[in-house]
Amino acid sequence: MNLPGSPHVAYRGDDLSLEGQSVSALAQRFGTPLYAYSKTAMLDAVAAYQRALVGRDHLVCYAVKANSNLAVLQVFAQAGCGFDIVSSGELHRVIAAGGDPAKVVFSGIGKTRAEMAHALQVGVMCFNVESEAELELLSEVAVQAGRTATVSLRVNPDVDAGTHPYISTGLKGNKFGIAHERAVATYRRAAALPGLAVAGIDCHIGSQITDTTPYLDALDRVLDLVEAVEAAGIPIHHLDLGGGLGITYTDEVPPSAEVLVKLLLQRIDARGHGHRKVVFEPGRSLVGNAGVLVSEVLYLKPGEQKNFCIVDAAMNDLARPAMYEAWMGIVACTRRDEPPTRMDVVGPVCESGDWLGRDRDLAVHAGDHIAVLSAGAYGMSMASNYNTRGRAAEVLVSGDEAWLVREREQPADLFKGERLLPAR
């Protein structure tokens, strides 16, 4: 049975393994729900970007929002990556994991004054500015701090990435970026404001993109702007081409990182921009297929219209199916020699939208373990405590070693910051 995604998640005989370790054994050792990640899969994924960029001035900035566990960030920091952040909290995580602030790009449309001041204090590489109002505030904060903020403007190329509307970011109707037609005027304003130094241009058109055409279309529009901005006397030193490369959840066939990057570099060179530094911000493509969410089967509930497999993981652990109606592979951790039953895999949360997979053919019994595949990205990072449920534990696997990299939340953890009213 071929599983989608990483070769490091595969069956050995009838047992699902992660880097050769039994996933059921991990569940028995660390409990469930459990997120488990392959270090080798993550390093293989980032190496594909790095191979394609050999000989170029470049920086691969891992998008922290995809999976912000400190150990995951540590793996990428040690692999030479920078980081793409969207909050001051993520910046704190990067620093705690040993990341270099000078290799951080600060994205996001709603940076606060305090977040700007923190990023300036620690010396981030660049602010990816997303509005003219943000530009004005950043100038004010930089001047007050006596520092210079290096900026790149995130432009909206109005290119359809052909992905889910919730994760499309490059169209006119999206909230992200500066409108293409306003870009040159905004660069002029940035160059004139005190406390700012223009360094680059940034573009991000969406997530889970499985075709190279939208990237190339967006790149052409970005290069058109670079030429127009430089004609206005404002030099552009780097091209930040964002992230968004998709992974295989079921039958998608996205291009490899090497193929995508080489196509983009060829277009950059053909248009005479090969001297510029290039920045990429991959997230999902580095961690998505490296992880699984492991859950115990609690009950099997047959019904007239639907059969249900009730497990101990829920929408608070994995929001993607409920939020995006995302399809994610679900398999038994130990295969049984019996006919499968078609059923919906659902969790204990009191919402009809609490499902992990619909109409799945599984041969499982109560007490067995199932694994949701390709769960390394936007799984734990989007988890919540809805229904006062503690968030899952996380483990990182490398060869024959497995490390607990986040403890399971206990009941007291869930309300430790709350206060009762005073007694009367």
Q: Which residues are catalytic?
A: 350
Give the whole-angstrom CA distance, residue 186 versus residue 42.
Answer: 38
Give the whole-angstrom CA distance, residue 84 versus residue 117.
Answer: 17
Give the whole-angstrom CA distance, residue 109 versus residue 10.
Answer: 39
* Helix, strand, or coil (residue 111): coil
Nearest Cα to Cα of residue 334 among 34, 14, 25: 14
Reported residue count of the chain is 424
* C-alpha 276 chain-centroid distance: 26
Non-local CB neighbours of 356 within 8 Å, separated by 6+ positions: 295, 311, 313, 314, 315, 318, 321, 328, 330, 345, 346, 347, 372
Sheet of 9-12, strand order? 9-12, 15-18, 21-22
* Helix, strand, or coil (residue 298): strand
* Helix, strand, or coil (residue 69): coil
Q: Computed from CA positions of residues 145, 146, 147, 152, in that sequence, does the dihedral angle turn out positive or negative?
A: positive
